[in-house]
């Protein structure tokens, strides 16, 4: 029996020495120490050993088992160490390599322009407010002195949701929301998205942005309107910018005007940019119509005001010299990165 155990031990050692991987060592463990292993088989055959010899044989078996285990553990530890070392050698991380850059997109010219306009008006004491994009007919038209049969309500222009609700065609309705609150005086701008059923081309889109302006106080005159918008234009387009007002018609203002700025490209001499006129149209404006004030609960005998509406895209296209509005909506980063 002793020789048999000694042979098992020598076999195990030989196999351990031959092993070149952790898997092979594990196989040796199973073969010799496992449930169906050789040492277990010896233990099972104890019943054939004379009872008085059993303790001695049992001791031999345990000693052999402990010895094989010790050698196996040692070999396993060595093998693990070798494996780690070769891993360390192969998986070198070069910390000097440039890191992968995060793509974070880019600010949109519309946003930059809107913030610039907001900054100028906030500097003049204006509040920035937001109105709803879904409006009722009342706020978008009626309260702005646009009666039921007015062409501005044409269904070809307006996206109706149903008989009562529509997508606002202008930010002017926000004037009404603010006036209805009844807090006077008012000095606000309201930037936001508007919608019209227009075909897409270089200067049109079914969805674009406006910045509405409204001032209501005692003794507001057209001079206040001119002074404010002249100052705004200088801040946005440069100190030398001149403005001119041309008579126009809007239902919610009386008198109404369109405002041009002197061409910031040629300084007013006339160039391709201003189509040779020296002037560029940038907004509509006027003194708030007494009907509009009255409908929103403001007494036109006591208060007066001015309003204006700026096309945000138009300003962005001018400021950044972009010649096609569609580029603003494609959101191609290669385009956006240029501004």
Residue nearest to ligand DAH (CB): 309
Instruction: Kindly tell me which of 2 and 249 has the beta carbon lying closer to ligand DAH.
Output: 249
Residue from the set 61, 211, 309, 318 that interacts with ligand DAH by CB under 6 A: 309
Cα–Cα–Cα angle for 120, 324, 105, rounded to 5 degrees = 65
Instruction: Kindly tell me which of 32 and 195 has the beta carbon lying closer to ligand DAH.
Output: 195
Contact call for residue 308 and ligand DAH (CB under 6 A) = yes
CB of 140 to ligand DAH, least distance (A): 10
Binding mask 239-258 for ligand DAH (x = CB under 6 A): -----------x--x-----
Q: How far apart are CA 118 and CA 211, in angstroms?
A: 9
Q: Which residues have a Cβ under 8 Å from the Cβ of 74 and sit 6 or more positions away?
A: none
CB of 174 to ligand DAH, least distance (A): 10
Instruction: Kindly tell me which of 37 and 305 has the beta carbon lying closer to ligand DAH.
Output: 305
Binding mask 160-189 for ligand DAH (x = CB under 6 A): ----------x-x-----------------
Phi then psi for residue 109, to 5 deg, are: -55, -35
Q: Which residues have a Cβ under 8 Å from the Cβ of 164 and sit 6 or more positions away?
A: 136, 137
Which spans in the chain are helix H? 2-18, 22-33, 38-44, 54-90, 109-123, 137-140, 173-180, 222-237, 290-295, 312-319, 326-330, 333-336
CB of 115 to ligand DAH, least distance (A): 21
Q: Kindly identify the residues of this chain, within the stretch 191-220, that bind ligand DAH according to CB under 6 A.
A: 212
Instruction: Kindly tell me which of 236 and 307 has the beta carbon lying closer to ligand DAH.
Output: 307
Q: Kindly identify the residues of this chain, within the stretch 277-306, that bind ligand DAH according to CB under 6 A.
A: 284-286
How distant, in Å, are the alpha carbons of 17, 18, 248 from that of 14?
5, 6, 105
Largest CA distance in the chain: 127
Phi then psi for residue 30, to 5 deg, are: -65, -45
* Binding footprint of ligand DAH on the chain (CB under 6 A): 170, 172, 212, 250, 253, 284-286, 307-309
């Amino acid at each position: 029996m002793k020789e048999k155990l000694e042979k098992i031990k020598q076999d195990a050692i030989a196999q351990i020495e031959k092993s070149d991987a952790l898997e092979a060592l594990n196989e040796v463990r199973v073969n010799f120490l496992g449930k169906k292993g050789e040492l277990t088989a010896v233990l099972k055959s104890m019943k054939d050993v004379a009872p008085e010899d059993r303790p001695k044989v049992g001791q031999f078996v345990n000693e052999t088992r402990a010895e094989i285990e010790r050698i196996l553990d040692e070999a396993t530890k060595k093998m693990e160490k070798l494996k780690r070392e070769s891993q360390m050698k192969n998986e070198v991380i070069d910390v000097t390599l440039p890191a992968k850059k995060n793509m974070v997109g880019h600010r949109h010219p519309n946003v930059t322009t809107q913030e610039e306009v907001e900054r100028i008006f906030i500097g003049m004491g204006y509040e920035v407010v937001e109105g709803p994009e879904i409006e009722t007919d009342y706020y978008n038209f009626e309260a702005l002195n646009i009666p039921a049969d007015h062409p501005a309500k044409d269904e070809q222009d307006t996206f109706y949701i149903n008989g009562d609700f529509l997508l606002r065609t202008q930010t002017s309705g926000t004037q009404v929301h603010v006036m209805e609150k009844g807090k006077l005086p008012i000095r606000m701008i309201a930037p936001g998205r508007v919608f019209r059923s227009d075909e897409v081309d270089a200067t049109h889109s079914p969805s674009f942005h406006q910045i509405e302006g409204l001032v209501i106080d005692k003794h507001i005159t057209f001079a206040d309107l001119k002074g404010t918008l002249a100052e705004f234009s200088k801040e946005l387009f440069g100190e030398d910018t001149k403005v001119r007002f041309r008579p126009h018609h809007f239902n919610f203002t009386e008198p109404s005007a369109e405002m041009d700025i002197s061409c910031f490209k040629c300084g007013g001499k006339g160039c391709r940019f201003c189509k040779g006129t020296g002037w560029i149209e940038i907004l509509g404006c006027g003194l708030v119509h007494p009907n509009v004030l009255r409908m929103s609960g403001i007494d036109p005998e006591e208060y007066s005001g001015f309003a204006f509406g700026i096309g945000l895209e138009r300003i962005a296209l001018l400021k950044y010299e972009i010649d096609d509005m569609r580029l603003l909506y494609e959101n191609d980063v290669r385009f956006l990165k240029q501004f």
